[in-house]
Amino acid sequence: MRVSALVLAGVGLAVLGGAWWYVGRKAPPRWNVVVLTLDTTRADFLGCYGRPGDPTPVLDALAREGTRFDRAIATASVTPVSHASILSGLDNQEHGVRVLAGMCGYKLKPEVPTLATILQSQGYATAAVHSAFPVSAYYGFDHGFDVFESFEGVIQKSQAGTMSWPLTKLQRRSDETTRMVIDELAHLDQPFFLWVHYWDPHDTVLLPPPELTAGLPHTADGQLAASRELYGAEVSYVDSQIGRLFETLKASGEWEHTLVVVVADHGEGLGDHDWQFHRILYQEQIRVPLLVRVPGLASTPSVAATVSTTDIAPTVLDYLGVRAPRAMSGRTLRPLLEGRADAPRSAFADQINGYDLNAAMLTKRPFDDFLYAVVDQGWKLVWRPLHPEKSELFDLDQDPGELRNRYADAPDQALRLQKLLARHGSWVTTPCHTPEDPGLDRAAALQILEGLGYAGGGETVEARWGFACPEAPGRVVADPAELDCADGYLLVPSTAR
């Protein structure tokens, strides 16, 4: 009786609250939306995430005006895969982008709705300005954009013997990108959806102006050395360029009705966990900065809860009062932004390096061929399906730097997270042999696959996967249909191995 009364009271309040919102706002706002994606940008290199020395005053000011998410998890640590989740609100197995280079699984299909396609259909002007090839039309990111300032190119066999793109040619520095954005803003109809992609910290091809790099470590032959300091200078330079963009929006009066999201697609190793680059799943790689600023909202300063970058698209649509044409795996962040109660979330990420023709890193990190991660209730599991004994479990609240693997000594948590992964079911069990893009060099791709051991005779795939229920890991079968697991199955090595 008491419970019913409470429930009724709750429903009544919800109805009243909804009515107030309706009367107060009449129609959903026609705000502009700006999504900035910062490639290869670690959260801990921003001042608002604790980096000393005032390295990012512009983003710090945005964080003060909006909300900083302290455990935002990207769905991958490779560019196109992670961006596909940011734009679509879908996990990797749903949007289908799994690799940077492959004969399939690299292209966002036109039928997958994104913020661009959805908002374009609602009458928004849509524009994208990019700083490097891995978010280009080659990867299917052009759909839904009226204006698409990106790069044209194709993946080809590289000197290193993998498939790659011309890194030194197909990128631009953040000052040039910002100049293009400002030009675009001058004649963009309103309301608009604008996606700007910055690239500078990804590599040292284009460096910040000399005054920002004076005094940084140099190599013996006088070149700037790749270092944490140089990486930090590149992050700071991007911050200064974002400042130019924000000033333009403020000067034109558009800032007051523009929803702003800043997020990174992934971080960078910089030597942590014995790795300089990305493509793995430790927190310095997938725990990304996420700042959300909603016009007129005195929002929660910071959110400690685990969220996913798949939550961004549903959040934007929620505030604009736009319905997605199909369900998204992400959930709106609105309760967290507005300080209301919210059910806990899990976040998932994976790296299908073993089928990625660009993943030269496998020669150095053979146990990182296939990585599936879940973050839930402060715990994180990184499952290595071909090397289960190398899997890792971390208590992120106690050990945010992931220095102590608890996989062997916390079996209850390991099993709990394995079941979440099993239920998520994001497994990839075959590389692609049929090219989706006629421009791709199929012979070269097959040769690389064969070299990796995945293609016997150039065509057939080695059967190497087995399947098992998380609660009965000893019973491995070749066909998951033979299993009757309570929570889905785990991908494991085949019994023949």
The footprint of Zn ion (CB under 5 A) covers 39, 79, 265
Other CB atoms within 10 A of residue 462 CB: 13
CB of 105 to Zn ion, least distance (A): 17
- For 166, phi then psi, to 5°, come to -70, 85
Q: Report the DSSP beta bridge partners of residue 143.
A: none
Q: Give the SS3 label for residue 219.
A: coil
With beta carbons less than 8 A apart as the criterion, state whether 439 and 163 touch: no
CB of 202 to Zn ion, least distance (A): 6
Nearer to Zn ion, 133 or 348 (CB): 133
Nearer to Zn ion, 39 or 60 (CB): 39
Nearer to Zn ion, 63 or 81 (CB): 81
Nearer to Zn ion, 45 or 319 (CB): 45
DSSP annotation of 463: P
Q: Report the DSSP beta bridge partners of residue 345.
A: none
CB of 86 to Zn ion, least distance (A): 11
Nearer to Zn ion, 139 or 370 (CB): 139
CB of 134 to Zn ion, least distance (A): 6
Distance (Å, whole) CA 354 – CA 360: 10
Nearer to Zn ion, 162 or 300 (CB): 162
Q: Give the SS3 label for residue 329.
A: coil
Nearer to Zn ion, 277 or 423 (CB): 277
Q: Give the SS3 label for residue 443.
A: helix
Residue number of the CB closest to Zn ion reads 79
> How many angstroms separate the Cα of 56 from the Cα of each of 115, 227, 235, 239?
27, 18, 8, 6
Other CB atoms within 10 A of residue 242 CB: 23
Residue linked to tokens 């310095």: 284
CB of 267 to Zn ion, least distance (A): 9
Nearer to Zn ion, 39 or 184 (CB): 39
DSSP annotation of 281: -
CB of 465 to Zn ion, least distance (A): 28
What angle in degrees, to the nearest 10, is found between the helix axes of 57-65 and 228-251?
Answer: 60
Distance (Å, whole) CA 43 – CA 70: 9
CB of 156 to Zn ion, least distance (A): 20
Tokens at 344, concatenated: 């806990």
Tokens at 260, concatenated: 């702003």
Nearer to Zn ion, 203 or 487 (CB): 203
Tokens at 155, concatenated: 């993946």
CB of 176 to Zn ion, least distance (A): 18
Nearer to Zn ion, 79 or 308 (CB): 79
Distance (Å, whole) CA 468 – CA 490: 5
Q: Which runs of E-coded beta strand occur in 202-308? A: 258-264, 287-293, 302-308
CA atoms within a 13 Å half-sphere pointing along the CA-CB vector of 152: 1
DSSP annotation of 31: -
Residues with Cβ within 8 Å of 58's Cβ and at least 6 positions away in sequence, in order, are 239, 240, 242, 243, 246
Nearer to Zn ion, 237 or 427 (CB): 237
Q: What is the largest CA-CA distance in the chain?
A: 80
CB of 159 to Zn ion, least distance (A): 21
Strands 490-493 and 465-469: antiparallel
Sign of CA dihedral 303, 307, 308, 313: negative
H-helix or E-strand containing 334? helix 334-337
